[in-house]
Structure 1
Amino acid sequence: MKPVFIGSEIYRGSSYGAAHPLHIPRVSTVMDMVRALGWLGPGQYRTSPRAKPVALTGFHTPDYIAALERAEAAQAVDEVAFKRHALGTTANPVFPEMFRRPATGAGGVMLAAQLVAEGGVVHVPGGGTHHAMADRANGFCYLNDPVLCLLALRRLGLSRIAYVDIDAHHADGVEAALGADDDMLLISVHEENRWPYTGKLTDTGGGRSTNLPVPRGFNDTEMGHVLHRLILPLLAQFDPQAVVLQCGSDAILEDPLSRLALSNNAHAEVALALRDLSQRFVVLGGGGYNPWSVARCWTRVWGALNGHGAGAELPAPAQDILAALTWNRRGPAWQVQPHWASTLNDPPRPGPVRPELADRVAYLRKRAGLARAVHLAPSIARA
């Protein structure tokens, strides 16, 4: 069965506000790109349903869901919603679709779980909001759709479910919800000393959680080291029945909310490697605050999952989509680069595997009792 792409028109024109990092278009650009490239065959696109409030209370508290609905309807929050539920803050502002948009992402990931029940691959770029807590918004995230996806997979009767998160920020909401559960393996690779300042190397979440804080400048070679020396061996040891990848693009060099240095080659390589480890594979979006890098990354991941190469120059319709994007960032670090509109693949960003990273991986391998690495096919970046 061909991979399935889940999207929605709710993302088109929906924004957290002009001053917020999520004022940029993301999912709608990916939808436009995959169509312009001819990468959606018959039956591959599904419109995301909007999750009903009762479905959301499978994780979130009824009081919180009610407060979120009221805030959208009134376009304002009361003191309880602000103080107890963190709604109407700078990070989690009031905006017109503040309930419907995250509820659509949640509906998409729960549909993804159903679609992979008998095996398959599903990409939900509108998912990946991994910071939300059961009773409050957190870190731009109103609902925790990764948790809702994992719980939906559990309801299918699966007893070994793996969650891998390569977003630049620690998956604190997922770990708080499911980190102590024996049927879940949670792996988070994130920048050290970066908000939310959780996910220390020694943290286990009370269960199988593996946290790898990585240093600034984390490069493609180092991600390859982490993938083959840690992530794949941990998954092989756990033997998951389903794998969920949170594929946040904010670890890419040009993203303004991290100081990591990956290319999108790393994301494509991780996605393909994880896909080959389980018959049920769900890929979510996540962070990503440069409109070109996030759109190119998630489009490229979808292409890789469908066997499409990314090295050639994009056709004119796809280039036009990327050329039309705008950004309010100023300064030399954020100037638009020619390849942002001409091709999907970033230049590879290799580098040394620094001793501090190698030592952290070795510590986690020893803690998990891993004896050997797992080596798969060559990197997609070299294909």
Structure 2
Amino acid sequence: MHAPLFIGSEIYRSSTYGSKHPLAIPRVSTVIDLCRAQGWLTTSNYRVSPCAKPAALHAFHTPDYIAALQRAERDQAVSDETREKYALGTLSNPVFAEMYRRPATAAGGSILGAELIRDGGIVYSPAGGTHHGLANRANGFCYLNDPVLAILTLLKNGLDRIVYVDIDAHHSDGVEAAFHGSTKVRMISVHEARRWPFSGTLTYDAGEAAFNLPVGRNLNDDEFYAILDQLILPGTASFNPQAIVLQCGADAVAEDPLSRLALSNNAHWRAVASLRDIAPRLLVLGGGGYNPWSVARLWSGVWATLNGIEIPDALNSKAQSVLGDLTWSRAAGKCPPRYWFETLRDTPNHGEIRPELRADLQHLADRIS
């Protein structure tokens, strides 16, 4: 199998949703810089993401919505009618300079990733993972739904057994809506209970296409490993997938401001390592994550894990400088702990497995079997 490929773009370096938006922070650009500083990313394994053209986006999104998104970027304003119909120009989905080109580049990266693994392989596109986007409407910071577009590309290329795994703190409502009732796509989502978008309940199965596990606050690493061993891995393997698409949102870790889960980044890396060899094709995407240090460290560790690189105890001086240059307006960014600059790996967060989680896992295990 060819070495993993990383898809990125310079558009993320200068683009922002606005200074007060959770996505005002740098994310993908920091991962690129950090991986380059460590010597893990070179011209040989890096590919530039194309900006998806409207025709490619129409595979899932309606032409009128894509036209409205392009028009909003051009005019840098939306009418009340457009805001109401397409959820553009809202607090969650604001008007900003690259509001079409940035998500279209992320979508182009995920589509390209799916094309690159047509004959097998591993591709990582951390800008992807915008799993809330709807066919005709922006939703939850997501103007487009690149995971759906990637899966549709795999289906178009002749695959008929695809597993989509989502470990973001928020439920993948847009992906679930797109593949409701599918016999070709199995969806497994682990997300915080009673958190926006308030979907993905334990008993909702999207026409038997989805396995949803809402989890309680303060989810710890040992609980996640039980989920991995009892739901994610058997639920994936039993589908005998030709491809896996993993959405690796970084907002389930303890330092994230938009969830109340308590994972260390070790949990995500174990999921990546465990899923890496189950199918001949693996596309790994980013997703949520709103602490610039935890996102950069987690997603850089994902790239190392995909390449079988042992994550060092201490970063080199150049990589530490990349993390040292980050700033964050939230209180936690005023005096960040030293390990956010010096190492990728969090201290593991061990703990007891709650009885209610054991019961929910048994319920889903019965469905899998």
TM-score over 0.5 for the alignment? yes
Residues 54-69 of structure 1 mapped to structure 2, 5 A cutoff: 54-69=55-70
TM superposition shift of 1:312:
1.9
State yes or no: 1:200 paired with 2:201: yes
Q: Which amino acid aligns with 1:96?
A: A
Against the structure 1 CA distance between its residues 219 and 34, is the aligned structure 2 distance closer, same or farther, given a 3 Å change threshold? same
Provide structure 1 residue ranges, at least 5 long, that are not aligned to the other structure: 370-383
User: What's the TM-score once normalised by structure 1's chain length?
Assistant: 0.95
Residues 44-55 of structure 1 mapped to structure 2, 5 A cutoff: 44-55=45-56
Match of 1:338 in 2: 338
> Which string of whole-angstrom CA distances, capped at 9 and with x for unpartnered residues, describes residues 96-133 of structure 1?
00000000000000000111111100000000000010
Match of 2:179 in 1: 178
TM superposition shift of 1:346:
0.6
Match of 1:125 in 2: 126
Q: Which amino acid aligns with 2:309?
A: H
CA distance in structure 2 between the aligned counterparts of 1:207 and 1:100, rounded to whole angstroms? 35
Contact 1:168/1:191, CA 8 A, preserved across alignment: yes
> Which string of whole-angstrom CA distances, capped at 9 and with x for unpartnered residues, describes residues 25-73 of structure 1?
0000001011101002452000000100011010000000000000000
State yes or no: 1:350 paired with 2:350: yes
How many residues end up aligned between the 2 structures?
Answer: 368
Q: Which amino acid aligns with 2:87?
A: A
Against the structure 1 CA distance between its residues 147 and 334, is the aligned structure 2 distance closer, same or farther, given a 3 Å change threshold? farther
Calculate the aligned-residue CA RMSD, in Å: 1.0
Match of 1:296 in 2: 297
Match of 2:83 in 1: 82
CA distance in structure 2 between the aligned counterparts of 1:283 and 1:194, rounded to whole angstroms? 24
Residues 1-383 of structure 1 mapped to structure 2, 5 A cutoff: 1-330=2-331, 335-369=335-369
CA distance in structure 1 between the aligned counterparts of 2:119 and 2:148, rounded to whole angstroms? 20
Contact 1:179/1:186, CA 8 A, preserved across alignment: no
Contact 1:190/1:213, CA 8 A, preserved across alignment: yes
Say which SS state the counterpart of residue 331 (structure 2) adopts: coil
Runs of 4+ aligned structure 1 residues displaced above 4 Å come to none
Q: Which amino acid aligns with 1:358?
A: R
Say which SS state the counterpart of residue 250 (structure 1) adopts: helix
CA distance in structure 2 between the aligned counterparts of 1:271 and 1:313, rounded to whole angstroms? 21
CA distance in structure 2 between the aligned counterparts of 1:350 and 1:18, rounded to whole angstroms? 36
CA distance in structure 1 between the aligned counterparts of 2:59 and 2:113, rounded to whole angstroms? 16
Higher mean Cα deviation, 119-128 or 74-83? 74-83
> Which string of whole-angstrom CA distances, capped at 9 and with x for unpartnered residues, describes residues 5-41 of structure 1?
0000000021100110000000000010111010024
Contact 2:222/2:350, CA 8 A, preserved across alignment: yes
Contact 2:36/2:42, CA 8 A, preserved across alignment: no
CA distance in structure 2 between the aligned counterparts of 1:220 and 1:347, rounded to whole angstroms? 10
Q: Which amino acid aligns with 1:320?
A: S
CA distance in structure 2 between the aligned counterparts of 1:92 and 1:229, rounded to whole angstroms? 36
TM superposition shift of 1:240:
0.4
Provide structure 2 residue ranges, at least 5 long, that are not aligned to the other structure: none
Q: Which amino acid aligns with 1:85?
A: Y
Match of 1:373 in 2: none
Contact 1:128/1:284, CA 8 A, preserved across alignment: yes
CA distance in structure 1 between the aligned counterparts of 2:27 and 2:14, rounded to whole angstroms? 10
> Which string of whole-angstrom CA distances, capped at 9 and with x for unpartnered residues, describes residues 323-342 of structure 1?
110001116x9741111000
TM superposition shift of 1:250:
0.1
Match of 1:377 in 2: none
CA distance in structure 1 between the aligned counterparts of 2:95 and 2:44, rounded to whole angstroms? 36
CA distance in structure 2 between the aligned counterparts of 1:347 and 1:33, rounded to whole angstroms? 20
